[in-house]
Structure 1
């Protein structure tokens, strides 16, 4: 989404529109706001990815929580001699403007996705699905930002859960098919998101599948909580997700051994949507790999029996997704545990 937004040449004035013209901070890096101020562009992006061959598209809600949105609308107390701490973030999660903004972004983004997923599905007869994107936040529950106070946390588990719960409620109101906790660098943040999902689903009497996807570093560990892929799986398997996988972080070549390990351990579907290689400011997309490269790598993952769901994260355009979709035509998905049982019988 972010890569493709940049190709539209939007400016600060474009993202502000009339509604946010007096916002005190720059908003151009707040891509979720485009769902409110430039909905035609966001819907055009959804259309292009669907027509490129995507079966699942994500809502434009990666940072659509009160906590993440506060970075763009609330003064940083550290600039005035203060600090961000649980008292600060309690005001954030209780702030009616931020709470309402988070709801609106999530609900509208889900409705935009839903509209185009259904329209394209009706045109060609193949069902499409909407994944409610739930990102990792701008704060960590696992680590202290203060080297002199390792026990300090800027935010509490309950505050993070509260922010995620509002996001989940709004995504459900917008009609998503699945909830996707993604780009996880801190497993404790992810656990708060999963608690929020379970609480909201129970309260509303709904059942919506959950997808979980982590971002890992060169050693294969989640980047802040530093869990290996196997440890990460063991930390989240209790929610019985539809799928678990890896996304973002490394390019597909460096991701291979960690994906292979996860595939050998998990008894659910495996997803993989890597960046288009590593960042490269000289590349038109900001990343190294071209569509043909991504198609070759993801096709190789499928050939080796590692994945059930394939796609692309940062640096991937509709052309990349088209190449991935083409490379996967006719390839068998990784057998699930039940499939193996039935084959053995």
Structure 2
């Protein structure tokens, strides 16, 4: 029986931890575990055999970090390491019926827009691993311990496009139910299941008890097999050693609970041993996979936000050059901030999804689509609709989009359907179907319905569920085709009731050529909603249109308790006849077009408008001195962003984008100060280092970006920094604050030794520490003065010590 067949009905057992087992076999601090595949192959084989003897049905190759970036300082290539590892695993199996999984971990660098690694570069790194894995004889691919959905997407694409192997994909979530970058379990499932992952789930970070609520959230969305590889509980750190707090029997208890919830692929991560896997095999031998009901739901997402197509959801229409002179000029001039302002204004006005169309003669539409998608996703978290008539542009948008989006559009023409629908399926998107064909837009509702029926049927042939098909019955202008307005509404109702799909309309087309267009638009919107419209494409800045949607949501029992309606329209100004209360009115005024004044520079930082901030800073410096700009505008803006990040209102991409915006402003200020030595921006020096033996510096790099933009001078020593270097640089530069980072439990000991060496050599400043495996208790134990759980906390520490 093949692997895919087996997991349809049975429980599949993976092995447990590799790293901790290798440490027992002599892996030294800072040593690359993958090197053991060549230099200590028998020890790796011994570990595989122990797992096999205790019931593992799948063993993972020792290739978690076998990518070209992590291996660049070794004497071995990616191909050599992977080939050796898979061969060792195959030898360990002997005659046992056991599968070998090619283990693929994170690259170790942040992808754009949070970092500098491009999506294309990440894809190429993974592609090299995937090709060699299949060539060496792996039976499946395990993409694991991902915290960035974008990176997981790059890895999954590389696997699907370059191999024929089954692909399982797991991400790591923390106690908040999100990954390090803010991704939710629901977004993970919606995105990666849609792209064709064969199994999906969670691993690492937490013990099974802590992961149990996340398992249930995955179960509520997923239709494919669910995988779980928890840690052996929560580690307790003692003198650099990670002591895990549950036994193999307790682990078995919780994994049994997982199986009852529908998990069918089980294994262990950090701290688990062959003893744990023996207990899991007992579960597999006495349980069958729990059958789960198929989940049918229409939804699109970004990593941090899912928009369910329930009730009326608004698609903002403003990112489109049609009939918009200023927008056309922005495209020609590569004025991305103008486009971003359009995105921000629509979201603040109530748009749930944004249509993105950048088609204009004379520009490279494909390059512009990629750039705009990346930039918008860097500052806001609403899903997008990729809108183009060019198939290459559509694929470029789909490929670089982070999450699940909508494709606008296909129609009833056979060649259009056959070209676009495979892309929709490949990238797991939703699609808009226009009720027209080579003969144009039919006049009657019946003819439009027949085209809609054809589109839904054709989508089904490509295994695109009807929940991912949104039919547009097309709005014609009432001024020219008045009789056909009712035909649109009739078609809309039939599509909704008979085909059972979601519906979409470009509402404002109705009023072209008529006076008082707003009145026609509002009335038609109300009529369309009453006939089953789910997704109006409209201008959310139109007060009247939003009034229709908000009042409908009350009457349709969507706005429970009329809460949103009351918050917007309660305590309205009776004398002026305004529909908005004073608070809402102030918000509307605040969110008008940004102009270059003091308040607006703060707004630009908060929203991440880099180029706008650069120009605004130049203007402000004509009337305000440099340090006042820093202390009265930039720092308060970053404080507000940090506060929102702490509250979970924004996530890492937005935090970094705001920091980068401040960086642009700082560059302007520093240029002006270059001739004025009496003025200084630096609030003090801070040394940052990832400790000896640890090659992970993502967290340190984020802290560096944030601290720099608060005005601190950072001496970045990099990663795997020898103890004597930290001591020497800190003393020579007379720094008052040092930040040490460690990601691996094996390097925590090195962190403690670094702090001891600093104190032994007479360092009198303060030390703060951070990293995924650290706790406040352990920080105190090793003599650190402060523990920073994230970048925002490190800023508070710096303020306390350096001001």
Query: Considering the TM-score relative to the shorter chain, is it more than 0.5?
Result: yes
Given the alignment of the two structures, is residue 171 of structure 1 paired with residue 101 of structure 2, yes or no?
A: no
Residue 240 of structure 1 corresponds to which residue in structure 2?
196
Given the alignment of the two structures, is residue 319 of structure 1 paired with residue 311 of structure 2, yes or no?
A: no
Q: CA deviation at 1:37?
A: 0.8
Residue 110 of structure 2 corresponds to which residue in structure 1?
140
Instruction: Within 5 Å, give how 1:302-317 maps onto structure 2.
Output: 302=259, 304-317=260-273
State the distance in 1 between where 2:219 and 2:88 align.
Answer: 33
Residue 24 of structure 2 corresponds to which residue in structure 1?
7
In structure 2, relative to structure 1, the CA distance for the partners of 1:298 and 1:142 (3 Å cut) is: farther
* Moved >4 Å (runs of 4+): 282-285
Given the alignment of the two structures, is residue 211 of structure 1 paired with residue 168 of structure 2, yes or no?
A: yes
State the distance in 1 between where 2:241 and 2:105 align.
Answer: 25
Choose 283-292 or 176-185, whichever is displaced more: 283-292
Choose 326-335 or 61-70, whichever is displaced more: 326-335
Contact 2:27 2:33 in 1 (8 A): no
| Structure 2: gaps spanning 5 or more residues | 1-17, 295-803
Three-state SS of the structure 2 residue aligned to 1:33 is helix
Residue 275 of structure 1 corresponds to which residue in structure 2?
231
Contact 1:291 1:319 in 2 (8 A): yes
| Structure 1: gaps spanning 5 or more residues | 13-26, 74-96, 122-126, 145-152, 202-206, 339-345
Residue 652 of structure 2 corresponds to which residue in structure 1?
none
Three-state SS of the structure 2 residue aligned to 1:245 is strand
State the distance in 2 between where 1:142 and 1:237 align.
Answer: 23
Residue 299 of structure 1 corresponds to which residue in structure 2?
256
1:184 corresponds to which of 143, 146, 154: 146
Contact 2:112 2:119 in 1 (8 A): no
Residue 205 of structure 2 corresponds to which residue in structure 1?
249
Residue 403 of structure 2 corresponds to which residue in structure 1?
none
Residue 83 of structure 2 corresponds to which residue in structure 1?
107
Residue 801 of structure 2 corresponds to which residue in structure 1?
none
Residue 518 of structure 2 corresponds to which residue in structure 1?
none
State the distance in 2 between where 1:316 and 1:285 align.
Answer: 12
Q: CA deviation at 1:229?
A: 0.4
Contact 1:305 1:333 in 2 (8 A): no
Residue 123 of structure 2 corresponds to which residue in structure 1?
161
Q: CA deviation at 1:143?
A: 5.5
Q: CA deviation at 1:69?
A: 2.3
Q: CA deviation at 1:308?
A: 0.6
**Count of residue pairs brought into register by the alignment:** 276
Residue 229 of structure 1 corresponds to which residue in structure 2?
185
Q: CA deviation at 1:322?
A: 0.9
State the distance in 2 between where 1:46 and 1:55 align.
Answer: 11
Contact 2:190 2:221 in 1 (8 A): no
Deviations 1:124-180 (A, max 9, x none): xxx211111110121111563xxxxxxxx3211111111111111111111111111
Residue 129 of structure 1 corresponds to which residue in structure 2?
99
Contact 1:52 1:319 in 2 (8 A): yes
Three-state SS of the structure 2 residue aligned to 1:181 is strand
Contact 1:160 1:192 in 2 (8 A): yes
User: Which has the larger Rg?
Assistant: 2
Contact 1:295 1:325 in 2 (8 A): no
In structure 2, relative to structure 1, the CA distance for the partners of 1:336 and 1:209 (3 Å cut) is: farther
Structural RMSD (CA): 2.0
Contact 1:299 1:328 in 2 (8 A): no
Three-state SS of the structure 2 residue aligned to 1:308 is strand
Deviations 1:276-313 (A, max 9, x none): 011223498632222112111112222x2321111100
Given the alignment of the two structures, is residue 57 of structure 1 paired with residue 46 of structure 2, yes or no?
A: no
Contact 1:179 1:208 in 2 (8 A): yes
State the distance in 2 between where 1:156 and 1:249 align.
Answer: 26
Given the alignment of the two structures, is residue 34 of structure 1 paired with residue 10 of structure 2, yes or no?
A: no
State the distance in 1 between where 2:221 and 2:201 align.
Answer: 11
State the distance in 2 between where 1:284 and 1:290 align.
Answer: 17
Bigger relative contact order, structure 1 or 2, given CA contacts below 8 A and separation 6+? 1
State the distance in 1 between where 2:271 and 2:292 align.
Answer: 30
Q: CA deviation at 1:103?
A: 1.2
1:46 corresponds to which of 40, 45, 48: 48
Contact 1:104 1:170 in 2 (8 A): no
Contact 1:55 1:129 in 2 (8 A): yes
TM-score by length of 2: 0.33
Three-state SS of the structure 2 residue aligned to 1:130 is strand
Deviations 1:24-43 (A, max 9, x none): xxx52x11111111000000
Choose 234-243 or 329-338, whichever is displaced more: 329-338
State the distance in 2 between where 1:220 and 1:120 align.
Answer: 41
